[in-house]
């Protein structure tokens, strides 16, 4: 610090290209909104969480793990990788875990792309993808969604160049809820060169009910396919930050090499192990979410006819320029949704009462 009274030019200590990068937008705090509106509580339908609380046994497992938090966690994540391997029928050396599957997506880019290499994905899709690409030095190649708001896999295959190192297929797609089907995914995978890694991001796999939408793990024996899963959504562990991938051993090992050391915390490992023992309850909760998804979609289509069918735990309202105003109108009625300016609004499926509150807000904004 100088004391000359002269104005110092602002020092640039960080990368200039970050200025152009959008921030990841977390869902707004319902407590803040409730305070602002003078309501006892507000409803958050903005982050694709499942509304039924932690699964039985999770809180106890995390509390027990807390007694050991003066020690580092198991960096090999041995017990959890073993449990995941058994559940999904793959070898543990094909699994890597991370601080949410979003971190694993980043690690995969780090493991495949050098600066200037290309990462292909559909757009609009998960808002973290462009941020991950840019911060990893990879070049984003965004292929516009098709007219039905889903991936145009033929155009994505055509976008591959000799600089392409990785392709993200978000299935079902966040935020539009659309899903690619088996025949088109087969064709796409056959068309992609063997030395390009195709990452099938299945954060919402547990909510898929269309039998034609393939389980990405059925492709996991292809050498250039990796499947991303999360325990944040159906498994109710969003706050613990735990996701995993299944890939060929060499890819999984590369990811484990670039992962931030010890980033799968002791609490996350313990909570995930407890959650995996509750598969029946997960299925029951997903069925509730799916029934509500269908009810909400049908009701919304009376207001916005082109709401696409969703295979996830959220629905998409393609409102274009009305998106932001619609989001504000919902907030004014105590319901937080997720608008994407100029494009549409994503609304997470909540409890029946929460969904009713949202539908009432939507009716008053659009009816
Ligand atoms: C498509 C998709 N992938 C990955 C994630 C990341 O989930 P997490 O990091 O909580 O595992 C999300 C979360 O919203 C998502 O929508």
In tens, the pLDDT along 110-134 reads 999 999 999 999 999 999 999 999 9
pTM of this prediction exceeds 0.75: yes
Report the pLDDT value the prediction gives residue 3, as an integer from 0 to 100.
52
Q: Which CATH number describes the domain made up of 58-278?
A: 3.40.640.10
Report the pLDDT value the prediction gives residue 7, as an integer from 0 to 100.
67
What is the Å distance from ligand 1's center to 107 Cα?
A: 14
Question: Given ligand 1 and candidates 47, 96, 99, 126, which is best to mutate, with the most ligand atoms within 8 Å of its CB?
Answer: 126
What is the Å distance from ligand 1's center to 102 Cα?
A: 5
What is the Å distance from ligand 1's center to 5 Cα?
A: 49
Residue 320 to residue 28: CA distance in whole angstroms: 21
Residue 336 to residue 352: CA distance in whole angstroms: 16
Q: Is 15 exposed, middle or buried (0-12, 13-18, 19+ CB in 10 A)?
A: exposed
Write the Ramachandran bin of 77: left for phi over 0, alpha for psi from -120 to 50, otherwise beta. left
Which atom of ligand 1 approaches the CA of 238 most closely?
Answer: 10
In tens, the pLDDT along 135-158 reads 999 999 999 999 999 999 999 999
Which atom of ligand 1 approaches the CA of 102 most closely?
Answer: 9
- Helix, coil or strand: residue 118: strand
What is the Å distance from ligand 1's center to 180 Cα?
A: 18
Q: Is 192 exposed, middle or buried (0-12, 13-18, 19+ CB in 10 A)?
A: buried
DSSP-assigned letters across all residues of 152-216 = -HHHHHHT--TTEEEEEEESSPTTT-----HHHHHHHHHHS-TTSEEEEE-TTGGG---TTS--G
Report the pLDDT value the prediction gives residue 6, as an integer from 0 to 100.
64
- Helix, coil or strand: residue 226: strand
Which atom of ligand 1 approaches the CA of 99 most closely?
Answer: 9
Closest residue CA from atom 3 of ligand 1? 203
Nearest to 96 by CA among 260, 253, 269: 253
Question: Which amino acids bring their CB within 6 angstroms of ligand 1?
Answer: 48, 100-102, 126, 170, 174, 201, 203, 230, 232, 238, 243
Question: Given ligand 1 and candidates 226, 231, 232, which is best to mutate, with the most ligand atoms within 8 Å of its CB?
Answer: 232
> ω before 175 within 30° of 0 (cis)?
yes
> CATH class for domain 27-52+279-366?
alpha beta
What is the Å distance from ligand 1's center to 334 Cα?
A: 25
Helix (H) or strand (E) holding 257: helix 249-258
B/e letters for 197-228, b = 16+ CB within 10 Å, e = fewer, are bbbbbbbbbbbbeeeebbebbebbeeebbbbb
Residue 160 has pLDDT above 70, yes or no: yes
Which atom of ligand 1 approaches the CA of 104 most closely?
Answer: 9
Closest residue CA from atom 9 of ligand 1? 100
In tens, the pLDDT along 177-206 reads 999 999 999 999 999 999 999 999 999 999
- Helix, coil or strand: residue 27: coil
State the average pLDDT over residues 64-70. 97
In tens, the pLDDT along 318-342 reads 999 999 999 999 999 999 999 999 9
Residue 69 and residue 267 in contact, taking contact as beta carbons nearer than 8 Å: yes
For the chain, which residues make up each domain, given as ranges? 27-52+279-366, 58-278
What is the Å distance from ligand 1's center to 47 Cα?
A: 9
Look up residue 183 and give its two tokens: 């025949």
Closest residue CA from atom 15 of ligand 1? 203
Residue 28 to residue 186: CA distance in whole angstroms: 39
Residue 1 has pLDDT above 50, yes or no: no
58-278 and 27-52+279-366 share a CATH fold: no
């Amino acid at each position: 610090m100088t004391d000359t009274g002269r104005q110092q030019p602002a020092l640039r200590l960080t990368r200039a290209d970050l200025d152009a990068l959008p921030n990841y937008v977390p869902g707004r705090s319902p407590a803040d909104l409730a305070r602002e509106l003078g309501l006892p509580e507000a409803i958050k339908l903005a982050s694709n969480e499942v509304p039924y609380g932690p699964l039985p046994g999770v809180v106890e497992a995390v509390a027990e793990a807390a007694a050991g938090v003066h020690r580092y966690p198991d960096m090999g994540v041995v017990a959890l990788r073993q449990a995941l391997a058994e559940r999904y029928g793959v070898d543990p050396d094909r699994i890597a875990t991370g601080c949410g599957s979003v971190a694993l997506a980043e690690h995969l880019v780090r493991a495949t792309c050098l600066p200037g290499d290309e990462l292909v994905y559909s757009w609009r899709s998960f808002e973290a993808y462009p941020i991950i690409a840019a911060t990893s030095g990879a070049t984003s190649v965004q292929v516009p969604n098709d007219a039905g708001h889903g991936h145009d896999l033929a155009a994505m295959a055509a976008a591959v160049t000799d600089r392409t190192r990785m392709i993200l297929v978000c299935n079902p797609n966040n935020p539009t809820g659309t899903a690619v089907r088996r025949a088109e995914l087969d064709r796409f995978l056959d068309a992609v060169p063997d030395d390009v890694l195709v990452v099938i991001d299945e954060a919402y796999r547990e909510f898929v009910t269309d039998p034609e939408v393939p389980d990405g793990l059925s492709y996991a024996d292809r050498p250039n396919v990796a499947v991303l899963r999360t325990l944040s959504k159906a498994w109710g562990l969003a706050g613990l930050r735990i996701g995993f991938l299944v890939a060929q051993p060499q890819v999984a090992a590369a990811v484990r090499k670039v992962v931030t050391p010890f980033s799968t915390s002791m609490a996350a490992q313990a909570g995930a192990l407890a959650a995996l023992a509750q598969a029946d309850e997960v299925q029951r909760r997903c069925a509730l979410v799916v029934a509500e998804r269908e009810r909400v979609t049908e009701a919304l289509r009376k207001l916005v006819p082109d709401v696409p069918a969703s295979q996830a735990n959220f629905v998409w309202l393609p409102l274009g320029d009305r998106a932001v105003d619609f989001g504000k109108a919902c907030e004014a009625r105590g319901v937080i949704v997720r608008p994407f300016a100029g494009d549409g609004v994503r609304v997470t499926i909540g409890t029946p009462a929460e969904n009713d509150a949202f539908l009432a807000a939507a009716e008053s904004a659009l009816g």
